[in-house]
Structure 1
Amino acid sequence: MVCVLLFVLITLSFGQPGTPDKPKHAKEKDEQHFPEMKSLEQTLPTVQQPQTQQPGIHRLNPETAPFVPRQQNLPSQHEIVQQHPQQRYTYYYHPKQPTQQQYYYYPRPFQQPLYPTQHFPHFVHPQQLAQQQYEQLGARPRVVQYTPQQQAVEHPQVPQVHPPQHVVEHPKIQQIRSGQRETTPIPFRPNIVIFEKFEMCENYQKQYSIVNNFAIVRFWPGEVCRTKVCAIPKKTPRVREEFLLHGFWPQIQANKELTCCEFKFPIERTEHLIFKDPKTTNLILRNWVSVEKCGLSISQFDQHGTCAMSNYNNKKGIFEYTRTAILLYKKYDVWKILKESELKVEPNKLYNIEDIKRVVENACGAEPIFTCINSYSVHEMKLCYDMRTNRINPHPVKCLDKNYREEKNSCGNQIMFAPFPEYLLNPETAPRNNCEY
């Protein structure tokens, strides 16, 4: 009975054996209503190959890709195909390889190469050489110095009787006392600066008239020595903080200076006559100082003094011209006048040029003319004189119009004085040049 019931249930569930298969359209209808009834091949996912590898697919005639079953025998390196139709190359997955031990390189510290000392010349220091010479002479005898207290404590020694021996006489040791030693200062050797000589005139012109207006020209050493090293001649005793004499110039109304006139003596003969006179030579060494080149006084006579010989037309004209220039220069210490005035002029300070000119005019009797560098630093100063009154001691007068034009073109409203070179003031340490005058 039980077997009959089981047979009935199996028949109802799976159909009777020997029943024919359903038609194709019925199977498709059942698969649409019951997706679980699809075959295993239909349910498995399909792997679509790239468009370039799919057979029968063209850009103009696309077709569905057929089913490609997955290959079972895969290589050791698994191939991974990405869904990119434009991709031409396949990617491969590489399994991780065992890491190897890494070695780090530590650079050695930089070592400076050592050079043998034989490549350099052997030099003995002067102090070491003196020590070697001292050791070769032998040890000096010991100097013993007794104080008054030590001499008072010492007791006389008892004479002892010794057998006669050969007596060796030693040199007596002179006691050194602090009161007898005196230190003598070492004289300072000034530096010798090599200067060239001023150039003389190449050509000379004739002079037909007498010049009535002369100018004493002073230069300020602060500006002249600002860009160069100045030095004083070997025979010049000293230099003071003041304007230095440049020259004694004849002035004419023409724009150019009257220079290099014909003279009866050549310049070499004139130089010999001037420095043959001791009085004139002493005046030049003390007052007509060459600080940048040699032979300033003779150069000024060659350029300007020859044109003044029409005013000094006698046998002593050369000496009169030179002494008059130095006399007019020494008559006024312009820098001292400016420092002691109400302005209290100091270096490196700007002052109104009219105030400076007023102070000098009140002290000297005539208005000065300044020339400047860079429109503010004073370079030279002129004081004019009338030679018609007295050629040895002329009277100060107003300068010519061309001199005022020169001042206006070179100086501004505010002027200053560069610091005086202090190294020239000390006669013992001041640098000296190779000039005779």
Structure 2
Amino acid sequence: MKATLSGLLHILVLQLLLVLSASQDFDFFYFVQQWPGSYCDTKQSCCYPTTGKPASDFGIHGLWPNYNDGSYPSNCDPSSSFDPSAISDLTSSLKSNWPTLACPSSNGLKFWSHEWEKHGTCSESVFDQHGYFETTLNLKKKVDLLQILENAGIQPDGGFYSLESIKGAIRDGSGYSPGIECNVDDSGNTQLYQIYLCVDKSGSFTECPVFPNSRCSSKIEFPSF
């Protein structure tokens, strides 16, 4: 009886490992940056972090494992909980480059915990927790979206710009085609919300095999912040 029970437990453990392995077998990452002015300029509004108003710059939303068919894994390893001490050396940079705008105001730990547990745990075959956050921060350094857009005359001034000009500027400035996500302000205007670039498993930018669905107008607002 003991031998049978031991054998059954062994099989169950193997099955669990196979499930976890399969859930982490993704194809590429979406590296997603968010314009804070568009996050805040909605009926829902926003709350600044406890450290104060973030810089008028794109902030990181996350690094999200995805499949080539457009679907994605999530919450792959419930046992791998977020550990703030593992990224203590990155905290200052995270506050500057990966700020939270959710209400109520917070120090960012809840946001980073959510990103790790939902998305980061699905990339543990590639990165541990520190590597996940460090890699994401380094990606932002490599592509300065705001500077790229401003170099093309696209300013966060509340003006309206063609969707194609925004895509073209980012493609020319970064070398890769972006995905653009829009949202709607409290007046009903479509605005530039999030920009997606794709990253391979080595942490290098690559062309996107598929883009996220987004309903953007041909001309979209780039609100101030």
TM over 0.5: yes
> Aligned residue for 1:386?
200
Greater gyration radius = 1
Pair 1:400 & 2:209 matched: yes
Of 199, 207, 221, which aligns to 1:416? 221
> Aligned residue for 2:144?
333
Of 357, 368, 372, which aligns to 2:182? 372
> Aligned residue for 2:89?
279
The residue type equivalent to 2:140 in the other structure is Y
> 2:55 touches 2:96 (CA, 8 Å); kept in 1?
no
Q: Distance in 2 between matches of 1:344 and 1:381?
A: 14
Q: Which has the higher contact order (CA 8 A, sep 6+)?
A: 2
* TM-score, L = length of structure 1: 0.42
- 1:178-232 Cα offsets, whole Å, 9 max, x none, are xxxxxxxxxxxxxxxxxxxxxxxxxxx7341532311111111111111314212
> 1:361 touches 1:367 (CA, 8 Å); kept in 2?
yes
Q: Distance in 1 between matches of 2:39 and 2:101?
A: 9
The residue type equivalent to 1:395 in the other structure is S
1:36-435 paired onto structure 2 within 5 Å: 206-208=20-22, 209-227=24-42, 228-234=45-51, 239-265=54-80, 267=81, 270-274=82-86, 277-293=87-103, 294=106, 295-312=110-127, 317-341=128-152, 343-374=153-184, 376-387=190-201, 391=202, 394-401=203-210, 403=211, 406-407=213-214, 410-420=215-225
* TM-score, L = length of structure 2: 0.77
Structure 1 pair 271–347 and aligned structure 2 pair: CA distance change class (3 A): same
Secondary structure of residue in 1 paired with 2:125? coil
Q: How many residues align?
A: 195
- 1:17-41 Cα offsets, whole Å, 9 max, x none, are xxxxxxxxxxxxxxxxxxxxxxxxx
Q: Distance in 2 between matches of 1:254 and 1:381?
A: 19
By how many angstroms is 1:310 displaced?
Answer: 1.6
Structure 1 pair 340–261 and aligned structure 2 pair: CA distance change class (3 A): same
- 1:105-132 Cα offsets, whole Å, 9 max, x none, are xxxxxxxxxxxxxxxxxxxxxxxxxxxx
> Aligned residue for 2:4?
none
Q: Which structure is higher in helix share?
A: 2
Structure 1 pair 395–411 and aligned structure 2 pair: CA distance change class (3 A): same
Structure 1 pair 419–299 and aligned structure 2 pair: CA distance change class (3 A): same
Q: Distance in 1 between matches of 2:138 and 2:159?
A: 30
> 2:26 touches 2:72 (CA, 8 Å); kept in 1?
no
By how many angstroms is 1:263 displaced?
Answer: 4.9
Q: Distance in 1 between matches of 2:116 and 2:88?
A: 18
Q: Distance in 1 between matches of 2:150 and 2:130?
A: 33
The residue type equivalent to 1:352 in the other structure is S
Secondary structure of residue in 2 paired with 1:384? strand
Identity %: 23
Secondary structure of residue in 2 paired with 1:378? strand
Structure 1 pair 320–419 and aligned structure 2 pair: CA distance change class (3 A): same
1:4-23 paired onto structure 2 within 5 Å: none
Q: Distance in 2 between matches of 1:311 and 1:334?
A: 26
- 1:352-371 Cα offsets, whole Å, 9 max, x none, are 21111111111111111111
> 1:218 touches 1:246 (CA, 8 Å); kept in 2?
yes
Q: Which structure is higher in strand share?
A: 2
Q: Distance in 2 between matches of 1:352 and 1:272?
A: 41
RMSD after superposition: 2.2
